[in-house]
Amino acid sequence: MDTAGTPDAVGLELDDIQSGVLHPRPSPYVGTYVLLRIDDRAAGRELMRRLGTVVSADPPTSEPARGAWVTVALTYPGLQALGVPRESLDSFAPEFREGMAARAAELGDVGESSPANWEEPLGSPDVHVALAALSPDAGRLAAVVERARHAHQELPGVEVIWRQDCYQLPTGRTSFGFKDGIGNPAVEGSGIPGSNPRERPIKAGEFLLGYPDETGGLPPMPTPELLGRNGTYIVFRKLHTRVAAYRRYLHERAASREEEALLGAKMVGRWHSGAPLALSPDRDDPELGADPARNNDFDYHDDPRGFRCPAGAHARRANPRDALDHEGSVNVRLHRMIRRGTSYGPELPEGVLDDDGADRGIVFVFVGTHLKRQFEFVKTQWLNGGIFIGTPTEKDPLVGPNDESGVFTIPQRPIRRRLQGLPPFVVVRGGEYCFVPGLRALRWLAELNT
Ligand code: HEM
Are 55 and 62 in contact by the 8 Å Cβ rule? The answer is: no
pLDDT for position 67:
67
pLDDT for position 59:
53
* pLDDT tens, residue by residue, 199-248: 999 999 999 999 999 999 999 999 999 999 999 999 999 999 999 999 99
Distances (CA, A) of 212 to 203, 205, 377, 437: 7, 5, 20, 18
Q: Which residues contact 223 (CB under 8 A, 6 or more apart)?
A: 87, 88, 91
pLDDT for position 53:
82
**Would the pLDDT of 182 be above 70?**
yes
Q: Given the DSSP bridges, would you call strands 338-339 and 342-344 parallel, antiparallel or unpaired?
A: unpaired
User: Which residue is closest in CA terms to ligand 1's atom 25?
Assistant: 399
**Would the pLDDT of 3 be above 80?**
no
Q: Where are the beta strands (DSSP E) in 136-277?
A: 158-167, 232-241
Distances (CA, A) of 272 to 57, 83, 178, 361: 37, 48, 4, 16
pLDDT for position 10:
76
* pLDDT tens, residue by residue, 315-348: 999 999 999 887 777 899 999 999 998 999 999 9
Q: Which residues contact 222 (CB under 8 A, 6 or more apart)?
A: 88, 91, 92, 209, 228, 231, 435
**Would the pLDDT of 64 be above 50?**
no
Crossing angle of helices 243-253 and 257-268, in 10° steps, is 120
Crossing angle of helices 41-56 and 439-446, in 10° steps, is 150
Q: Range with the lowest mean pLDDT among 150-159, 180-189, 271-280, 380-389?
A: 150-159
- Give dist(CA 428, CA 108) in Å, integer: 10
Distances (CA, A) of 189 to 6, 12, 226: 5, 6, 21
pLDDT for position 9:
61
User: Which residue is closest in CA terms to ligand 1's atom 14?
Assistant: 182
**Would the pLDDT of 373 be above 70?**
yes
- Specify the higher pLDDT residue, 401 or 8: 401
pLDDT for position 192:
87
- Minimum-distance ligand 1 atom for the alpha carbon of 399: 2
Task: Give the confidence band of 170 by pLDDT, cuts at 50, 70, 90.
Answer: confident
* pLDDT tens, residue by residue, 83-112: 999 999 999 999 999 999 999 999 999 999
* pLDDT tens, residue by residue, 262-316: 999 999 999 999 999 999 999 999 999 999 999 999 999 999 999 999 999 999 9
Helix (H, G, I), strand (E, B) or coil at 79: helix
- Give dist(CA 144, CA 342) in Å, integer: 17
Protein residues whose CB sits closer than 6 Å to any atom of ligand 1: 174, 176, 178, 180-183, 239, 241, 268, 270, 314-315, 318-319, 337, 339, 361-362, 364, 375, 378-379, 383, 399, 426
Are 186 and 193 in contact by the 8 Å Cβ rule? The answer is: yes
**What is the 8-class DSSP label of residue 132?**
E
CA of 318 to the centre of ligand 1 (A): 7
User: Which residue is closest in CA terms to ligand 1's atom 33?
Assistant: 318
Q: Which of 217, 198, 174 is nearest to 373 (CA)?
A: 217
pLDDT for position 65:
42
pLDDT for position 441:
97
CA of 273 to the centre of ligand 1 (A): 14
- Minimum-distance ligand 1 atom for the alpha carbon of 361: 1
Summarize the confidence of residues 37-57 as an average pLDDT.
Answer: 90
- Minimum-distance ligand 1 atom for the alpha carbon of 239: 1
Helix (H, G, I), strand (E, B) or coil at 218: coil
pLDDT for position 1:
38
**Would the pLDDT of 61 be above 80?**
no
User: Which residue is closest in CA terms to ligand 1's atom 23?
Assistant: 399
Bridge partners of 35? 130, 162
CA of 450 to the centre of ligand 1 (A): 42
Q: Which of 201, 205, 169, 204 is nearest to 184 (CA)?
A: 201
CA of 335 to the centre of ligand 1 (A): 14
CA of 442 to the centre of ligand 1 (A): 31
How many percent of the chain have pLDDT more than 90? 80
- Give dist(CA 134, CA 335) in Å, integer: 26
CA of 182 to the centre of ligand 1 (A): 9
CA of 315 to the centre of ligand 1 (A): 6
pLDDT for position 57:
62
User: Which residue is closest in CA terms to ligand 1's atom 22?
Assistant: 399
Q: Which residues contact 278 (CB under 8 A, 6 or more apart)?
A: 269, 298, 299, 300, 303, 308, 309
Distances (CA, A) of 427 to 179, 288, 330, 332: 20, 31, 29, 27
* pLDDT tens, residue by residue, 15-44: 999 988 988 888 889 999 999 999 999 999
How many percent of the chain have pLDDT more than 70? 95
- Give dist(CA 196, CA 9) in Å, integer: 20
Residue count of the chain, please give it. 450
